Structure 1
Amino acid sequence: MINPGLNKYEFVLDNKYFLRELLENVTMEDSLDEIAYRATVKMIITSDFPGIAPGQEARVSGVPFGGSSMIYLLHPGVVWECNSQTKGQKHLPVTIYDRMIYIAKSEDEYLFSAGQTASQRLRQYASDWGIPLGQITDTGIPLAKAIYRAQPIWSMIMSDLKETVTKGGKMYRPRMTPEGLELLALGSNETVWVLEKEQNIEEIGQLRTLEGAVTQVKVLGNAPEDQRSPVLALVKGETDKYGTLQKVLSDSKLTDSGAAKSAGEDLLSGVQETFTVTGIDINAIRAGDKVQFNSMELLVASIKHELGSPGHMTAVLASEDYIRRRYYARSF
């Protein structure tokens, strides 16, 4: 059935076919685990349907929560997958990504000299791949020399951003916008939404787990292939309380015990805590945004919008420390 609750939304194909009247449901998903914003659009197929195929330009627009005029929610986008279903009336679920999907799926090699920042390297990736740029925040942290063999460009970007955090910088996330590729600090959104039970939140889940906890870090130095690596530092955390959950850190850039101890301390963590909230959809919230929940300022790790009037959303929220350890800790 065509959903009248989607009258505040629009799906446009090839910049000329406005298909709002055919929409059954639209979901949009964003996560720090992925680089591209994803929309799943389900439509009823009529006799005058223009046809759709992977590779076509697409966009999703809508009236933001609390607003009155339509804005782009996912643009520029590309049709990635079509999966028709026929049982009487023909239905067509379509998967659309913003154009960051090309960064996620494409591989290349790069050699970067020492002293460049993650912002400068992002500009280089964008230039080489013909990606227009919007606002690129200066990360301000010089990085070490990097040799990236064939791998997804997204992996290189994340390596640069993780090194930035390791060296004391902020956490950043690339985001595709109508103005071009942007680089934003996590939690830098101007509007910080307040999520409150019995106001706009219907259900709250709280997860506390030792999965992913680190209570002891062994930091290793360099050694010849036929010898064991020297131990530069053994950093203990809450081993008495939670037991020994050890992580081994081996980094050729660490040469003294002081730096090794500091690096090890950055990896220590106790109980991992996240909140999953379900409520009235605030369709402008994206992964990496800051929200206020139960008087705490938290970051959005992932969010799923089920568009409608009103729609619903499900978001996973976590502290800045958790996000730093979970998504921005370097893999050694």
Structure 2
Amino acid sequence: MSYDVVLGNQFYLRDLVEEISLEDSLEEIAYKANIRLAVTSDMPSITPGQSIRISGTPYGGSGVTNLLHPGVVWDCSSSNSGRKHIGLTVYDRTIYLAKSEDERLMPAGQTASQRLKQYAKDWGIPIGDVTDTVETLARNIKRSQSIFSMIQEDLKETVDKGGDLFRPRMTSKGLELVKLGSNKKAWKLETLEDVTQNRTLEGAITQVKVLGAQTSEEKLSPVLAVEKKDTEKFGTLQKVIQDSKIETTAQAKNAAKRALLGIQETFSVTAPDINTIRAGDEVWLNGISLWVTRVTHRLGTPGHMDLELAAPNKVRRDYLA
């Protein structure tokens, strides 16, 4: 399977490529690529800030698709051990939302979708298909922080209020908002090189107490809700939630129920590469529906991928942490 690396929409570097890996995680916003090139006398000069794209034939498909585009060269490093090489770190353009800080007053009544469009517009990032997150958000003064953390706050509040889980994702069409697990093609992982299953009570929550706003320095905060599950089986592992955005008892109960989680189960998988799988996608392993929390593609013929997988309820709980 062949891959193209195109610099500045002008220089095709395919013949110089020695290694390409792509990394995607729910904890980050930008898709990251590491590229190793052989240096020749006629290759173009490469410097941070230049545009770059990576494309190739999608697994199980035909033609060519953009895997990372629009991208920007972020780091360059060269080495010489008999033959000169250059290493590139590349991100999609959402890296500017992760590296830039601001302070903002966000009015009540907006959705996370609307706020995402505003952030992108202010940073000159084109918009693609942005799913409507539906839930209206509270007024929020966002003190100095990264734009990405502001986006995460908005998406977390959406989940707090009963909405679905979403993540921002850059595509060739622009910045999009993708519902987790909504990919049309959910791959079944059948040909596996290695599978590790991890199960633990570390991080488990069997009881949740939701507190209201503190009204006095001399009194404890009012208790809005207490929910429990499997305390007899696993013991009491309590989490306390106190969030000014939780305004009603119903919201408190919903927030508490969503935070309950017993044994933590995750999977680490190494398998032949399916180069279009992204963090947030649904895959199937041994008949179980799981979500990708992290993926590294080592592109090639054949390629390989490393996946970190978890059940949707664990991803939801972690997302709210």
- TM > 0.5 fold call: yes
Q: Structure 1 counterpart of 2:3, which letter?
A: Y
- Cα 1:256–1:115, aligned 2, differ >3 Å: closer, same or farther? closer
Q: Structure 1 counterpart of 2:277, which letter?
A: I
Q: Is the 8 A contact 1:220 1:229 kept in 2?
A: no
User: In the alignment, which residue of structure 2 is the partner of 1:9?
Assistant: 3
- Cα 1:26–1:113, aligned 2, differ >3 Å: closer, same or farther? same
Q: Is the 8 A contact 2:213 2:222 kept in 1?
A: no
- Cα 1:91–1:228, aligned 2, differ >3 Å: closer, same or farther? farther
User: In the alignment, which residue of structure 1 is the partner of 2:314?
Assistant: 322
1:162 is the counterpart of 2:156 = yes
SS of 1:205's equivalent?
strand
Match of 1:276 among 268, 271, 277: 268
SS of 2:152's equivalent?
helix
Match of 1:68 among 62, 83, 99: 62
User: In structure 1, how many angstroms separate the alpha carbons of the residues matched to 2:260 and 2:59?
Assistant: 39
Q: Is the 8 A contact 2:162 2:254 kept in 1?
A: no
1:216 is the counterpart of 2:210 = no
Q: Is the 8 A contact 2:205 2:238 kept in 1?
A: yes
**Residue pairs, 1:221-300, within 5 angstroms:** 221-224=212-215, 226-232=217-223, 233-254=225-246, 259-300=251-292
**Residue pairs, 1:140-179, within 5 angstroms:** 140-179=134-173
SS of 1:54's equivalent?
coil
User: For each residue in 1:294-327, what CA deviation from the matched residue of structure 2 results, as whole angstroms up to 9, or x when unmatched?
Assistant: 1122111111100011100111111111111112
Deviation of 1:231 after TM superposition, in Å, equals 4.1
Match of 2:186 among 164, 179, 192: 192
Q: Is the 8 A contact 2:215 2:221 kept in 1?
A: no
Q: Which moved more, 1:235-244 or 1:153-162?
A: 235-244
User: For each residue in 1:245-295, what CA deviation from the matched residue of structure 2 results, as whole angstroms up to 9, or x when unmatched?
Assistant: 222211234466554344222211111111111111000111111112211
User: In the alignment, which residue of structure 1 is the partner of 2:198?
Assistant: 207
Gaps of 5+ in 1: 1-6
TM-score by length of 1: 0.91
Q: Is the 8 A contact 1:218 1:231 kept in 2?
A: no
- Cα 1:262–1:181, aligned 2, differ >3 Å: closer, same or farther? closer
User: In the alignment, which residue of structure 1 is the partner of 2:177?
Assistant: 183
- Cα 1:225–1:41, aligned 2, differ >3 Å: closer, same or farther? farther
Gaps of 5+ in 2: none
Q: Which moved more, 1:130-139 or 1:72-81?
A: 130-139
Q: Is the 8 A contact 1:222 1:229 kept in 2?
A: no
Q: Structure 1 counterpart of 2:162, which letter?
A: G
- Cα 1:112–1:279, aligned 2, differ >3 Å: closer, same or farther? same
User: In structure 2, how many angstroms separate the alpha carbons of the residues matched to 1:162 and 1:248?
Assistant: 17
SS of 1:83's equivalent?
strand
Aligned residues: 320
User: In structure 2, how many angstroms separate the alpha carbons of the residues matched to 1:172 and 1:153?
Assistant: 16
**Residue pairs, 1:37-116, within 5 angstroms:** 37-116=31-110
User: In structure 2, how many angstroms separate the alpha carbons of the residues matched to 1:193 and 1:174?
Assistant: 21
SS of 1:195's equivalent?
coil
User: In structure 2, how many angstroms separate the alpha carbons of the residues matched to 1:255 and 1:129?
Assistant: 33
Deviation of 1:221 after TM superposition, in Å, equals 2.3
User: In the alignment, which residue of structure 1 is the partner of 2:126?
Assistant: 132
SS of 2:116's equivalent?
helix
Instruction: Give the root-mean-square deviation of aligned CA atoms.
Output: 1.7
User: In the alignment, which residue of structure 1 is the partner of 2:299?
Assistant: 307
Q: Is the 8 A contact 1:234 1:261 kept in 2?
A: yes
User: For each residue in 1:86-110, what CA deviation from the matched residue of structure 2 results, as whole angstroms up to 9, or x when unmatched?
Assistant: 2111122210000010011111122
TM-score by length of 2: 0.94
Q: Is the 8 A contact 2:138 2:245 kept in 1?
A: no
Q: Which moved more, 1:224-233 or 1:101-110?
A: 224-233
User: In structure 1, how many angstroms separate the alpha carbons of the residues matched to 2:30 and 2:112?
Assistant: 19
- Cα 1:264–1:42, aligned 2, differ >3 Å: closer, same or farther? same
SS of 2:244's equivalent?
coil
User: Could you tell me the percent identity over the aligned residues?
Assistant: 55
Q: Which moved more, 1:255-264 or 1:293-302?
A: 255-264
